[in-house]
Chain A
Amino acid sequence: MRRVLLLLTSALWAASAARGDTPFDGVWEGTLAVVGTHGSGQQQWLPEGADSTEVRLDMRDDRARLSLGGRRITLPEDFRVGVHDAAALVYNADVYNGYVGTWQFSLTKLDADTVLVFAWRVRNFAEPDAASRTIAHALRGELKREPSRRRRD
């Protein structure tokens, strides 16, 4: 798992303009709307019927921390960040015996301190019934950077 994420990071970094401070370093916060769902069940990362969630992304170089609704998402590996010009991808995977899960946040800058975000959270469970195996949510909206946490643009 660690090796796969490292390879993923390496591939993204090949396209990254610079290391060190990136245009995305800082703490980004806002409310993202739930714009799509697939499947349902009790093992969801959003409450049933939620139409939005507060998102906080703390990005530093090639790593990020994610909080949803004030709750930190803790996974075996840190969230990884790939930056290319005014675009960034924040991603992670949680792979266990019971499910394979992926997180993907696509970011593009609207201005120095605002990003447009589209995110997918997908989990594929060890569920014998294929029709209910997969649960996915799409989030979309804007995040603002905390001025005090901005480092460089």
Chain B
Amino acid sequence: MALSLACSALAIVGVSYAQLEPTTIVHPSGRDVDDVLEAIQEEIDEQLKDSLGLPEWREALGSLAGTWEGTVEVIDATDKTPPGFWRRGDRPELQIVVRQSTAVISVKADAWRPLNGNFQATDFTGGGFVYTVDSGNGWVENWNLSLAKKDADTLLVFLSFVSGGTLERLDSVDAAFAVGAMGELKRRTE
């Protein structure tokens, strides 16, 4: 009753509960409750990690997040691959920047030049995908990169690029082509 009256009085003069001195709660064990809660949370996290079955080897390889640079080798290209595009045996320099569920892919010319498209990234820890399917100027473009972590700082890239005419001009063009490449990229930044 007295506490209720005191709180009402504080409310009238504009003092909220939050401005009152915090009360220290002590666990029956004598430890600070915050420490006990933190220990419980750590135990839950550990159990959750075990239940998700993320093995140590995948944890050690880590995620795809970061900036990766290196050279890939073009291992295959169809005959109709247009002049100026990658040919079998070419060794373009590639940069992959993965941030959560998106990625930016750039190819080195005089400087890093980002490829068109909104690249999406899916990370399974130890491996994953980066891809985009896009269209413009009567063309469809399909970039796909399968990624595998060789170690924490090395990324193996298996790339395909397939392009062709849009549906409305399929009958008038005969220019679809496909290119495949693979290589090893090194981590530049986290």
Q: Which residues of A contact B (CB under 8 A)?
A: 4, 7-8, 11-12, 15, 23, 35-36, 38, 82, 84-89, 91, 93, 95, 97, 100-102, 104, 106-112, 116-120, 122-124, 126, 128, 130, 133-134, 136, 138, 140, 153
Contacts and interface: CB of A to CB of B under 8 A. Distances in A.
Contact of B76 (A35, A101, A111, A136): A35
Interface stretch (B36-44, B89-97, B125-133): B125-133
A111 B180 contact: no
Which of A38, A82, A124 gathers most chain B CB within 10 Å? A124
A86 B164 contact: yes
A61 to B, nearest CB: 16
A130 B187 CA distance: 16
Given A86-B140, A118-B178, A111 B171 contact: yes
Given A15-B134, A102-B124, 15 more contacts: A8-B129, A82-B133, A85-B167, A88-B142, A104-B160, A109-B165, A110-B170, A118-B179, A122-B156, A122-B158, A124-B148, A124-B149, A128-B57, A136-B158, A153-B167
Given A102-B146, A130-B150, A138-B76, A116 B140 contact: no
A23 B144 contact: no
A36 B133 contact: no
Given A91-B129, A100-B148, A134-B148, A116 B162 contact: yes
Contacts of B154: 130
Nearest to B160: A118
Nearest to B143: A106
Nearest to B180: A138
A93 B101 CA distance: 16
B164 A89 contact: no
B101 A11 contact: yes
Nearest to A93: B124
Contacts of B144: 89, 91, 104, 106, 118, 120
A123 B127 CA distance: 8
B34 to A, nearest CB: 32
A54 B168 CA distance: 30
A11 B120 contact: yes
B55 A126 contact: yes
A153 B72 CA distance: 37
A67 to B, nearest CB: 20
Contact of B170 (A15, A88, A112): A112
B130 to A, nearest CB: 10
B122 A108 contact: no
